[in-house]
A and B are shown apart, each in its own frame.
Chain A
Amino acid sequence: DTEVTQTPKHLVMGMTNKKSLKCEQHMGHRAMYWYKQKAKKPPELMFVYSYEKLSINESVPSRFSPECPNSSLLNLHLHALQPEDSALYLCASSRPFVENTGELFFGEGSRLTVL
C-alpha cells in the first residue's frame, strides 16, 4: 500500500469547471511534488514545495494552481482546463532536498479527463 494518498482516483471535468486534486502523506516528508504523466511517457515535473513553500514552478499554465496548506497536504486546483490537460497527475513526497538522494514516494495518481 502506498503511503501517499491521492483523491480522487478518477475525475472527469468540463473546460469551464473548477475542481481540485488532493494529496496526503504522513511520513514526515517536507518536500512534496506534482507531476503530470501522459500515456507511455515519463512523469513531467510541475511544482515542488519545500517546507510548505513553493520552490519550483516548471512554467506551468496558471489554470493549474498548487496549494500546500500544511506539511502533510498538497492540493492542485484546476480551472478552465483544456482537453490536452487530460493525463495522470501524480503526487510525490520526499525528505528535504539537502538530505534527499532522489528517492521519491509516489501516490497512485489521479486520472483526469477534460471534455
Chain B
Amino acid sequence: GDSVTQMEGPVTLSEEAFLTINCTYTATGYPSLFWYVQYPGEGLQLLLKATKADDKGSNKGFEATYRKETTSFHLEKGSVQVSDSAVYFCALTSGSRLTFGEGTQLTVNP
C-alpha cells in the first residue's frame, strides 16, 4: 500500500539555521503531497501542499517541491525561528484517506 517515510527525529537547531526534513513516498498513481504541522497542545494544520509533479508548495517561509523522479517532498526553510518548534508530518492522499509519515519533532533554540 501507499506509504510515507520521514527522516527520524528529533531535530534540534539554533535560531536562523537552515532546516531540511526529508520525506519520501511510495504510491500507486499520482498522489497529492502535504506537510502538516502540529504545534504543542494543538491539532494539525496544513502547512503546504503540491498536487502534481514539479509543483512547489510554500507557506510561512517553508517550501517543498514534488519530485516524482525521486519520489520525494523534502521540507526546507532558510532561517528557522523559535516559533517553528513543532511536529511536522509529511502526508499523501491515498484514495479518500490521508496517509501520514511518523512525524519529525523540531526544536529551535534561541
Contact = CB atoms under 8 A, between A and B. Distances in A.
Interface string A98-115: 000111111111000000
Interface stretch (A39-47, A59-67, A68-76, A77-85): A39-47
A102 B93 contact: yes
Contacts of B103: 40-42
Nearest to B101: A42
A97 B32 CA distance: 13
A55 interface: yes
B89 interface: yes
How big is chain B's contact interface, by range? 20 to 34
Interface stretch (B16-24, B42-50, B67-75): B42-50
Nearest to A33: B98
B97 A45 contact: yes
Dominant secondary structure of chain A at its interface with chain B: loop
A55 to B, nearest CB: 7
B45 A56 contact: no
Contact of B51 (A50, A56, A101, A109): A101
B100 interface: yes
B103 to A, nearest CB: 5
A27 to B, nearest CB: 13
23 contacts: A2-B42, A4-B43, A41-B103, A42-B100, A42-B103, A43-B44, A45-B97, A48-B96, A50-B96, A56-B97, A90-B44, A97-B96, A101-B51, A101-B93, A102-B32, A102-B49, A102-B92, A102-B98, A103-B34, A103-B46, A105-B46, A107-B43, A108-B43
Kindly list the 10 A-B residue pairs having the minimum CB-CB distance in the complex, ordered from nearest: A106-B43, A42-B100, A102-B93, A106-B44, A97-B96, A101-B32, A108-B43, A102-B32, A109-B43, A107-B43
Interface of A: 2, 4, 6, 40-43, 45, 48, 50, 55-56, 90, 92, 97, 101-109
